[in-house]
Structure formats: structure tokens, C-alpha cells
Amino acid sequence: MTDSPPLPSFDWPELKPGWVWLCGAGPGDPGLVTLHTLNAMKQADVIVYDALVEPAILDWAPQAEAIYAGKRGGKPSAKQRDISLHLVELARAGKRVLRLKGGDPFVFGRGGEEAQTLIQHGVPVRIIPGISAGIGGLAYAGIPVTHRDVNQSVTFVTGHDQSGETPTSLDWQAISKGSQVLVIYMGMKHIARIAGALLDAGRPASEPCAVVTSATTDAQQVLETTLGTMEADIAASGMEPPAIICVGRSVLMRQVLDWQALEAGAAPRNLDPLDRGLPAETV
């Protein structure tokens, strides 16, 4: 896949020498890259990319030097400050710089910090949002992140803080009470503590949960479980990060909306998983 898709005619912005564009690459499936990111890829001299960027996407920019700045995959980890300063250097050297980040650069992606450092150093930036794993990844699993009969709010939570520990700054009691649906990023390592905190805060052990690993890629796996059994079920499944964990009744909708299973020929498991007893769109 070296031929990059053509861009439709439009007044596409120019990535100028000395600029850095922070672009989202989406959760994995190359089809979820935005046209603005593709436009950037066609113009970049250098692409500084993260571990969670699907490598096939980089094939669309054969002219660009690709620099890995990720923190996974057994490769040495780059320090955040060093990455940001490297971007400053590349921009000052007159390169057209594309900083490519998994999902959306401003969702648990340190895009805000990188952009701030660039601007503090006088480097002009453009931000190109992407499809975040916590929304698009769940959609690929057939889970709508909001659903009128389930939730009027959704809370995105990180399972790690800067120290790599469960975020101590999070008030799990308030989070549990405040939102019917939680979408947890980076939750695998501390799943026992997170599930324990939610149970302590009064969420029922029977609450539906889903774990979606490598969402939107060929390696996508989905586990349907409950808050009480999630830790054991994950361990038994052998599933590995990256994972999005969804806590809440919207997970039940997968019984009807698992479109990948339908595409593979399966019948819907349950046409009315929320037991409405009414056609889906009646009030």
C-alpha cells in the first residue's frame, strides 16, 4: 500500500517549511485517517510518529523521513520533553514537520503539552484532530458511546497518571456516580484497582463492561464481561494492550450492533438488548 489515496479537490492548507502540524492518525484502520492528515502526509519532509500509529499509514508518505518517538514495542522510550524539543529543532531547520499521534492528539496524547512547547519556542503549529480510540474503537466493536436509553453523559478516564500509577487525583466515587458510561484508556495494567474502586463506589458487580484491544485493526479483539468478573476474564483471555474499556449498559447494544459479526454472516444475538419492547426510535 504505497500509493496514497488521492485528495478530492479543495483548497487544502499548505504545510510550510518551519511549521509543525500535530495530526491524529485515528485508532488504526487507515480508512479512519482524516483528509487533513492525509494532506499533511503528502507534504511532510519528516513524520515523527508514535507507537500506536498503524505502520501501513506511513506508507502513504514515502518521501518523508519517518522518526519513531513511541514508548512501546521494546524500543527505547523517548522522553516527552526530548520529543518536543526535537520537533522544535526540526522546525527550526526549516523542515515541514508532521507530528503523527494515535487517535486524537488532544485526547490522552500529550498533544497539548507538545503544542505548548512548540508555541513557547515560537514554532507555528496547526492541530488536526483524529478519531479517538474511545469513540471510534468502541464503534468498531458495535458499542455506541452514547445511546439515548442509556446515558446522557460519558466520562473519559485514564488508568495511568504521569507516574504510571492509577491516577490518585481521580475521585472514583464522583466518577462512578457522575456518569452512566465510563470509557477508560490505558486501563489494563491497573484494571484490578480500577474495577475495585468502581465497585467500592457502588457500581454493581453485574454492570456490563467491554474490553476492546487493537480496535479497528485486523487484530481487534472484544471481550464482553461485567465489572465483577472483568479482571479474571481479561487474565483468562490473554488480551494485551492497547485496550479501551467501556463500563456501562451501552455495552449491551453490541448484542444487536456487532456489525463485524453481521458482516461475517452471524445473526444478531438480540434485537432488543435494552428490553425496550418498542421499536428503537419510539420515544
- List of residues contacting ligand SAH (CB under 6 A): 27-28, 52, 101-104, 107-109, 132-133, 137, 185-186, 212-217, 241-244
Q: Answer whether 87's CB lies under 8 Å from 101's CB.
A: no
Minimal distance in Å, beta carbon 199 to ligand SAH? Answer: 21
- Does the active-site annotation cover 186? yes
Q: Could you tell me the smallest distance in angstroms from the CB atom of residue 236 to ligand SAH?
A: 19
Q: How far is the CB of 83 from ligand SAH (least distance, A)?
A: 14
- Please say which residue, 95 or 99, places its beta carbon nearer to ligand SAH: 99
In the annotation, is 275 catalytic?
Answer: no
Catalytic residue among 29, 41, 42, 50: 50
79 flagged as catalytic: no
* Rg (the chain; Cα; Å): 20
Choose between 184 and 274: whose C-beta lies nearer to ligand SAH.
Answer: 184
C-alpha 246/C-alpha 54 separation (Å) is 22
Angle between helices 111-120 and 80-92 (to 10 degrees): 40
Name the catalytic one among 95, 104, 186, 230.
186
CB of 241 to ligand SAH, least distance (A): 5
Torsion-angle region of 3 (φ positive above 0: left; ψ -120 to 50: alpha; else: beta): beta
Type of residue at 42: K
Q: Tell me the C-alpha distance between 258 and 100, whole Å.
A: 30
Nearer of residues 61 and 107 to ligand SAH, judged by Cβ: 107
Of 45, 59, 71, 239, which is the active-site residue?
Answer: 71
Q: Considering the complex, what minimum distance in angstroms separates the CB of residue 65 from ligand SAH?
A: 23
Phi/psi of residue 209, nearest 5 degrees: -140, 155
User: In whole angstroms, what is the distance from residue 210 CA to residue 26 CA?
Assistant: 20
Question: Between residues 213 and 225, which has the closer beta carbon with respect to ligand SAH?
Answer: 213
Q: Confirm if 53 and 32 have CB atoms less than 8 A apart.
A: no
By beta carbon distance, the residue nearest ligand SAH is 103
Helix (H, G, I), strand (E, B) or coil at 20: strand
Closest CB to ligand SAH among 109 and 208?
Answer: 109
Cβ(247)–Cβ(206) below 8 Å: no
- Give catalytic residues, as residue numbers: 50, 71, 186
